[in-house]
Amino acid sequence: MLKPLRTLALYWRRWRQLDEEQPLADLLLRARPEDPWYKRVNWLLDLVQWLYAEPADAASRAARDARKTRRLNLLLGHLERDELLRERVAGTMQSLLGEADGLELLCSTGLPREPALASEVIDTLVGMLLPTTPVHRDLQSLFGAVFPDRELARWVERMDDDALLRLRDLLFTPEMLARYRRNGEDALIYLATVISAIGLSPDVRSRLVQRSPRALPFRKLENAIGGLLAAEEEGRTEAIQVVNNALFESHAAILDAYRHLNDHGVSITLVYHLERMHALLKRIEALLALLFPSANRSTGVAAFIGDLVRSHHLRVGIGGLLRRNTALLARKMVEHNAEHGEHYIARDDAEYRGMFRAALGGGVLTAFTTWFKFIILSAHLPKFLEGLGASMNYGFSFVAIQLTGTALATKQPAMTGPVLAGKLESIHNPGGLRGLLDEVTDLMRSQSAAVFGNIMGVVPMMLVICALVHWFTGHPVIDAAKATKTLEGYSIIGPTPLYAAFTGMLLWASSLFAGFADNWFALHYLSEAIAWNRTLHAVVGEKSARRIADFLQHNFSGFAANLSLGLLLGMIPAIADFMGLPLDIRHVTLSSGSAAAAVMTLGPQVMLTGPFWLAVAGIASMALLNVGVSFILAFSVALNARNVREGTRRRIYRALAMRLARSPWAFILPQARRERKIVHDFSPDDTTRFMR
């Protein structure tokens, strides 16, 4: 019994000693060129750990860099004073670098390697989970272990020339330097060949202006690099210029492909290919500047290594990899929502009244949705079928609202948030902040009109439906027990606000489906495919086929948003119930209709009771949270997609708070022209103060 405990205690002491700093003299004496590879690697990593060791009270970055520099000079000075020890340490390091293959370091470190984003993500995840011990004799794995922190890039770049020369003499022999130069030239050939292969693929080539394989700049780059490596000293300047021209044309071709994506839909796979080509081109430029320095392009070894360190740590992070390859799709989806969100903003009294009327019609249609919901619940179906029925009910109802031109208030914020983010591009222009605040005010007032219209449409219509059902069948839409439970379930004292906030998240998620569907529709040229379909031409005629294509082009994303929202609202409660999770949906318009049905069953006297008014307060919280949460999420995603800085966001929030304090009713009700001028007109001093 005691022996296992003593063993565990021994292991624990050894673990604690890993972070203890070993004396430099002891470390240097452990250097043995004849040791196996793994022992020499572990010795090097111990030496690196001593070099990077920081005090317990971590100082500023500059102080940490200065400490590393002092330790490096101490190491080099110690070796220069002891020739035998220097020979031993240099032999160990040179044996590692001599046995390792430098080609992969130059071709792969910090660069995407897999043919697709999914395999790149998997490869990155595997690299994060597996041990990082450099067991293979290649510099790429050893490089990541020697430079474990991205901050080291800055320290390496600021290293003085004297220290670099002393390190070079310690690490390399002339023969090794010549071999690594050949590795660099081989890396140029490899990188150019990979770029040419990707550029010749149908996915990339079909997005380029020039599509002939013989005329592609990527092929020119491959040939130009081959010509540069074969050129004599006197013809090298001209060969470098040819390579530079091919590089410029290659970058321009990639920009053409990005423009095509912006116009015709974004493919994450294609974005990954373009990002990979761009990274490979940047590596070629860095290698050219290192191997063939010229007047307009020259990179030192320190700058090149610093760039390798940054690229390595940028690649090993899964978050950065996904952000880089999905940023264009996110921006495309945001722009789609902004385009469709413009007509949801009422900017004058006439548009305010139009929004109210549209929302009134949406409320009337939602009353029938609520009635069908009670019919489905009364059937006591299995939970899955009940959720599926509710999803179909909601989805078809939302599609009907879309096709009739009416409005549902809670679907608007996820679309209108990106509209505001689009206004941020002119925030620093004169009057830009005031224009943004006016847009926010108009938007909030539009949401108020939509919410009021929905409630004033659904409640009376639901009362009419309940009266007609009772007249024809002799039974209420819901019984007394269900009505009481409905009002209690909407009480603000309880989980109603949480459920309402969660529903706001689902409303925002449906806008993502809309943006994705719109991008997918454009990416696959479905509008043209439908308009030119010979079968449709034979059945309905060419003009009708064109009208069908136009109809789907304008409504496809709306169908996706509405059907996905219906699926989310209907299935999530059923799934949550199956998993035993206390999760439900609280939608302001649907809940208002349900509450009206409950009042119709229990009688008007229930309006004098506490549960009724708690339910009214709960419905008010639903309106606020459904609209607010979906808008905040959509606005935040739009800000991130447009790379709006944190400082600019804070200035906007402060200015918005001041506008709200000065005229809160402007965010809810339409105003007279005189009052609107008072609210909207800002002096230059006000604008300057807001922008601080």
Q: What are the pLDDT digits (tens) for 619-629?
A: 999 999 988 88
Q: Which amino acid is at 648?
A: T
How far is 267 from 253, CA to CA, in rounded Å? 17
Portion of the chain with pLDDT greater than 90, in percent = 37
Confidence of residue 134 (pLDDT cuts 50, 70, 90): low
Confidence of residue 334 (pLDDT cuts 50, 70, 90): low
Confidence of residue 14 (pLDDT cuts 50, 70, 90): low
**Cβ(398)–Cβ(406) below 8 Å:** no
pLDDT, mean of residues 114-137: 64
- CA distances to 33, 127, 370 from 452, in Å: 81, 54, 18
Q: Which of 183, 198, 200 is nearest to 108 (CA)?
A: 183
The DSSP line for 67-108 is: HHHHHHHHHHHHHHH-HHHHHHHHHHHHHHHHHSBSHHHHHH
pLDDT for 133 equals 58
- Report if residue 581 sits inside a domain: yes
Q: 238 or 139: whose pLDDT is higher?
A: 238
How far is 220 from 224, CA to CA, in rounded Å? 6
How far is 488 from 257, CA to CA, in rounded Å? 57
- Report if residue 514 sits inside a domain: no
pLDDT over 70 at 171, yes or no: yes
Q: Which of 216, 189, 180 is nearest to 102 (CA)?
A: 180
pLDDT for 511 equals 80
- CA distances to 42, 43, 69 from 75, in Å: 18, 15, 10
Q: Which of 656, 661, 662, 652 is nearest to 692 (CA)?
A: 652
pLDDT over 60 at 666, yes or no: yes
Instruction: Give the CATH number for residue 415.
Output: 1.20.1080.10
Q: 203 or 544: whose pLDDT is higher?
A: 544
- Indicate the residue among 42, 67, 99 that finishes a domain: 99
> pLDDT tens for residues 591-602?
999 999 999 999
Least confidently predicted of 137-151, 402-416, 677-691: 677-691
pLDDT over 90 at 283, yes or no: yes
Q: Which of 268, 276, 336, 267 is nearest to 637 (CA)?
A: 336
Same domain for 106 and 91: no
Secondary structure letter of residue 667 according to DSSP: G
- Indicate the residue among 84, 99, 114 that finishes a domain: 99
pLDDT for 62 equals 83
- Report if residue 3 sits inside a domain: no
How far is 586 from 623, CA to CA, in rounded Å? 10
Same domain for 88 and 106: no
> pLDDT tens for residues 431-485?
777 777 777 787 778 888 888 999 999 999 999 999 999 999 989 999 999 999 9
- Indicate the residue among 51, 67, 99 that finishes a domain: 99
Same domain for 229 and 349: no
**Cβ(608)–Cβ(393) below 8 Å:** no
**Cβ(597)–Cβ(482) below 8 Å:** no
pLDDT for 495 equals 93
> pLDDT tens for residues 486-533?
999 999 998 999 999 999 999 888 887 887 787 788 777 788 889 988
How far is 300 from 156, CA to CA, in rounded Å? 11
How far is 452 from 455, CA to CA, in rounded Å? 5
> pLDDT tens for residues 637-661?
777 766 677 777 788 788 888 888 8
**Phi and psi dihedrals of 248, rounded to 5?**
-60, -45
pLDDT for 600 equals 93
pLDDT over 60 at 224, yes or no: yes
pLDDT for 688 equals 39
Furthest CA-CA distance within the chain: 107
Same domain for 578 and 460: yes
- Report if residue 544 sits inside a domain: no
Same domain for 406 and 375: yes
Angle at 336 between CA 332 and CA 341, to 5 degrees: 145
First to last CA, the chain: 69
pLDDT for 685 equals 42
The average confidence (pLDDT) of the chain is 82
How far is 639 from 637, CA to CA, in rounded Å? 5
Same domain for 415 and 276: no
Confidence of residue 691 (pLDDT cuts 50, 70, 90): very low
Extract the tokens encoding 45.
Answer: 């990593």
Extract the tokens encoding 166.
Answer: 């002393």
pLDDT, mean of residues 308-321: 75
Looking at the structure of the chain, the number of domains it has is 3
Task: Compute the CA torsion angle 135, 136, 142, 144 (nearest 10 deg).
Answer: -80
Q: In terms of C-beta density within 10 A (0-12 exposed, 13-18 middle, 19 or more buried), how is residue 212 classed? A: exposed
> pLDDT tens for residues 20-62?
446 888 888 899 999 988 889 889 988 998 898 876 555 678 8
pLDDT, mean of residues 137-153: 84
Same domain for 227 and 113: yes
Residue linked to tokens 């500023």: 60
Which residues are CB-contacts of 165 (< 8 A; sequence separation ≥ 6)?
none
Same domain for 358 and 449: yes
SS3 state of residue 315: helix
Same domain for 86 and 61: yes
pLDDT, mean of residues 320-349: 59
Which residues are CB-contacts of 318 (< 8 A; sequence separation ≥ 6)?
121, 124, 125, 128
> pLDDT tens for residues 360-399?
999 999 999 999 999 999 888 998 999 999 999 999 999 9
Same domain for 302 and 239: yes
pLDDT for 258 equals 83
- Report if residue 545 sits inside a domain: no
pLDDT over 70 at 424, yes or no: no
- Report if residue 94 sits inside a domain: yes
- Report if residue 172 sits inside a domain: yes
Q: Where are the alpha helices (DSSP H) in 405-475?
A: 413-423, 432-473
pLDDT for 665 equals 80
| Domain region containing 654 | 334-508+557-665
How far is 473 from 204, CA to CA, in rounded Å? 65
Q: Which of 231, 252, 251 is nearest to 185 (CA)?
A: 231
Same domain for 444 and 365: yes
Q: Residue 498: in which H helix or E strand, if any?
A: helix 496-523
Q: Within 10 Å of residue 68's Cβ, how many Cβ atoms?
A: 18
Q: Within 10 Å of residue 622's Cβ, how many Cβ atoms?
A: 28
Same domain for 438 and 408: yes
Which residues are CB-contacts of 130 (< 8 A; sequence separation ≥ 6)?
none
Gyration radius from the chain CA atoms: 33
Least confidently predicted of 293-307, 441-455, 565-579, 676-690: 676-690
pLDDT over 90 at 2, yes or no: no
pLDDT for 684 equals 39
- CA distances to 130, 132, 310, 311, 468 from 126, in Å: 6, 11, 20, 18, 64
Q: Which of 491, 487, 486, 480 is nearest to 603 (CA)?
A: 480
- Report if residue 688 sits inside a domain: no
Q: Residue 682: in which H helix or E strand, if any?
A: none
How far is 490 from 496, CA to CA, in rounded Å? 6
